[in-house]
Amino acid sequence: MPLFIRDDEVNDLADKFAKLTGKNKTEAVRMALMAQIDAYRNHETLANRIAQVQEKAAATLGLEPDGWDDKALMDELSGEPDVH
């Protein structure tokens, strides 16, 4: 089934990408779509990336969460009134 690009801007982008890659427009669109699908599949969530940083910090620097709630300190430093 053919793909018809009716948006002039999208058509121009496909042409530019085709010229950059030295491919025809069909191959350029295929390459771009495949790259985006791969990127989407390999996307890590922010929570996973943070967990990895925390694990590395714990392993290399011995940094572990201490369970201390810093909210009161942060409120004080930012000028927020103490509501306790």
Q: Quickly tell me which residue has 């069909």 as its tokens.
A: 26
Long-range Cβ contacts of 5-10 (<8 Å, 24+ apart)? none
pTM: 0.52
CA atoms of 66 and 28, how far apart (whole Å): 52
Q: Give the tens place of pLDDT for each residue, 58-70.
A: 888 877 777 788 8
- Contacting residues for 75 by C-beta, under 8 A, at least 6 apart: 81, 82
- On average, the pLDDT of the chain sits at 88
| Mean pLDDT across 38-53 | 90
Residue 3's pLDDT band (boundaries 50, 70, 90)?
confident
